């Protein structure tokens, strides 16, 4: 398929062309002979961050706000600084090469990253119990329990995951403890109720063979106090905490979850995708609402398709089991620069990614480990 973005079906609104100076300044292009912006061909365009996110669903968004935005240019000086600070943060890398290298080529690209976050709430109910401590019982005699989704609770701040449990009104009833049969205590399993166990030192023989003398551990009794029950022979029931009765009730478990869909636009440079997914970007567009609409007219078609795919995936995954409370979609610009350099007659490559100039080193001439050079 022809993916040239100048195709009429991929760019909906081109009305801004007449009014906006689209080409970056000439000196920018000179310094970046291989720059590869979103829109290819002879129109080098970059997007401009909006003053406020357009919020009208389905309306044609005015992407002209996004134009003219320039990626901060990575100069040789910036590239060298980024590598030096990376090298200095690693004990196994020598800094001489980073200082002496000769930069041959800087290839800069601006990638787009689309993210969709869907904050949802799911509810389940289950029977549970706790020791009954004689407080009043909120049972069915006080009314009918509300339905699962009719119970009103405090929602945590949006996009903050949490799980909380609530007691469903009018669902309580009191029963004898099934573990101790209402006794509050049960026989110790360590000593079977005796309170003592066979002496582990003389195995109950009361005497030691070598040297032949009375066992000192048990003072010749052959038995020792049971450590499990401290000699009592029985233990407090852990289920009812000795209360003999249990309060059974329906528990509502609410889970607030943030589902993430992420897409990074394609690029030709050989930098691992997982780094770009985590890289710090600059927000070009942000749209947050109880439900967001797919972006259909972003000039980079892959991003519009990702938005449509992400929203469809989330609604399909959540439809039957959760309620969507809030959605947020963002488009971020993630700068990526490939740096080729010479050092002692060989060519090496590293990448600078993200607005904070993180470095990914493919190979590096000066790498040591515990003092020994890895070649
Ligand atoms: Zn015991
Ligand atoms: Zn003994
Ligand atoms: Zn019990």
Question: Which ligand is nearest to the Cα of residue 195, counting in written order?
Answer: 1
For residue 243, give the ligand nearest its CA.
3
CA of 11 to the centre of ligand 3 (A): 71
pLDDT at position 97: 78
Boundaries of every domain in the chain: 15-112+265-286+342-373, 118-178+241-256
Distance 178 CA to ligand 3 centre (A): 6
For ligand 1, the distance from its centroid to the CA atom of residue 207, given in whole angstroms, is 23
Ligand 1 (single-atom ion) residues, CB below 5 Å: 188, 190-191, 226, 228-229
pLDDT in tens, the chain (375 residues): 344 434 333 333 333 333 333 333 343 333 333 333 333 333 333 332 333 334 444 455 566 555 456 566 788 888 999 988 888 888 778 777 777 888 999 998 888 899 999 999 999 999 999 999 978 899 999 999 999 899 999 999 999 999 999 999 999 999 999 999 999 998 998 999 999 999 988 887 777 777 778 888 888 888 999 999 999 999 999 999 999 999 999 999 999 999 999 999 888 788 888 888 889 998 888 999 999 999 988 888 899 999 999 999 999 998 888 999 999 999 998 999 999 999 888 899 999 999 999 999 887 887 776 554 444
How many alpha carbons fall within 13 Å on the CB side of residue 290? 2
The pLDDT, as a whole number, for residue 53 is: 38
The whole-number pLDDT of residue 90 equals 82
Q: Which residues contact 47 (CB under 8 A, 6 or more apart)?
A: 38, 63, 66, 67, 69, 284, 299, 333
CA of 72 to the centre of ligand 2 (A): 81
- Residue 121 backbone phi and psi in degrees, to 5: -125, 130
What pLDDT sits at residue 64? 56
Number of C-beta neighbours around residue 249 at 10 A? 22
Residue 124 forms beta bridges with which residues?
253
pLDDT value, residue 70: 56
Q: Which of 6, 67, 9, 1 lies closest to 41 in space, CA to CA?
A: 6
Ligand 2 (single-atom ion) residues, CB below 5 Å:
199, 201-202, 215, 217-218
**Separation of CA 168 and ligand 3 centre (Å):** 23
Query: Is 196 strand, coil or helix?
Result: strand
Span 15-33, pLDDT tens digits: 333 333 333 334 333 333 3
Based on C-alpha coordinates, what's the Rg of the chain?
Answer: 34
pLDDT in tens, 169-199: 999 999 999 999 999 998 998 999 999 999 9
Query: Within 13 A of 357's CA, how many CA atoms are on the CB side?
Result: 17
Ligand 3 center from residue 165 Cα (angstroms): 23
Phi, psi of 149 (to 5 degrees): -90, 0
Check residue 300 and give its pLDDT: 86
225 alpha carbon to ligand 2 midpoint, in Å? 11
DSSP assignment of 118-151:
EEEEEEEEEEEEEE--SPPP--GGG-PPPPGGG-
**135, two tokens:** 């407080």
- Asked if the bond preceding 211 is cis, omega within 30° of 0, the reply is yes
What is the whole-number distance in angstroms between the Cα of residue 211 and the centre of ligand 2? 13
pLDDT recorded at residue 92 = 78
Q: How many helices (H) and strands (E) does the chain have?
A: 5, 16
Ligand nearest to the CA of 129: 3
- Whether 64 contacts 11, CB under 8 Å: no
């Amino acid at each position: 398929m022809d993916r040239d973005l100048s195709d009429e079906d991929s760019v909906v609104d081109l009305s801004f062309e007449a009014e906006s100076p689209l080409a970056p300044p000439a000196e920018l292009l000179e310094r970046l002979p291989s720059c590869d912006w979103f829109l290819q061909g002879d129109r080098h365009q970059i997007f401009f961050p909006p003053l406020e996110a357009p919020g009208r669903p389905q309306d044609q968004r005015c992407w002209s706000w996004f134009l003219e935005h320039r990626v901060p240019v990575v100069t040789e000086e910036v590239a060298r600084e980024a590598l030096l600070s990376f090298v200095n943060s690693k004990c196994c890398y020598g800094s001489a090469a980073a200082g002496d290298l000769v930069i041959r080529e800087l290839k800069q690209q601006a990638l787009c990253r689309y993210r969709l976050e869907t904050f949802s709430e799911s509810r389940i109910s289950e029977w549970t119990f706790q020791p009954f401590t004689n407080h009043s019982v909120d049972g069915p005699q006080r009314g009918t329990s509300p339905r699962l989704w009719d119970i009103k609770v405090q929602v945590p701040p949006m996009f903050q995951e949490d799980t909380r449990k609530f007691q469903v009104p009018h669902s309580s009833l009191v029963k004898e403890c099934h573990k101790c049969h209402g006794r509050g205590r049960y026989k110790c399993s360590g000593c079977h109720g005796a309170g003592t166990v066979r002496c582990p030192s003389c195995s109950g023989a009361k005497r030691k063979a070598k040297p032949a003398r009375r066992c000192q551990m048990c003072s010749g009794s052959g038995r020792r106090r049971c450590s499990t029950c401290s000699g009592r022979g029985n233990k407090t029931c852990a289920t009812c905490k000795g209360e003999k009765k249990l309060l059974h009730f329906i528990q509502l478990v609410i889970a607030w979850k943030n589902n993430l869909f992420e897409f990074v636009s394609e690029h030709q440079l050989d930098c691992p995708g997982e780094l770009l997914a985590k890289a710090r970007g600059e927000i070009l567009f942000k749209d947050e609402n109880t439900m967001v609409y797919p972006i259909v007219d972003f000039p980079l078609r892959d991003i519009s398709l990702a938005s449509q795919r992400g929203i469809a995936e989330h609604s399909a995954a959540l439809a039957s089991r959760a309620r969507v409370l809030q959605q947020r979609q963002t488009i971020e610009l993630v700068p990526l620069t490939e740096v080729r350099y010479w050092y002692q007659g060989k060519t090496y490559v590293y990448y600078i990614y993200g607005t904070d100039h993180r470095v990914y080193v493919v190979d590096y001439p000066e790498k040591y480990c515990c003092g020994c050079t890895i070649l």
